[in-house]
Structure 1
Amino acid sequence: MHFDKNEYMKLLTYILSNCYDKPHVGKTVISTALYFTDFNYYEIYGEPLTKETYLKSKKGIIPKHFNKITEEMIEKNKLYFRKEPHYHTVLHRYYLKQLPDIRYSNKKKNLINRSIRHLITKNATNILKYASKDPHT
Structure 2
Amino acid sequence: MSDPGLGLDGFHHVALITSDYPRAKHFYVDILGAKVIDETLRVERESYKLDLLLPGGAQLELFSFPTPPPRVNRPEACGLRHLAFRCRDVDVARQVLETRGVTCEPVRVDELTGRRFTFFADPDGTPLELYEAG
TM-score, normalised by the number of residues in structure 1: 0.29
- Bigger proportion of residues as strand: 2
- Higher RCO, Cα 8 Å, sep 6+: 1
TM-score, normalised by the number of residues in structure 2: 0.29
- Bigger proportion of residues as helix: 1
- Structure of greater Rg: 2
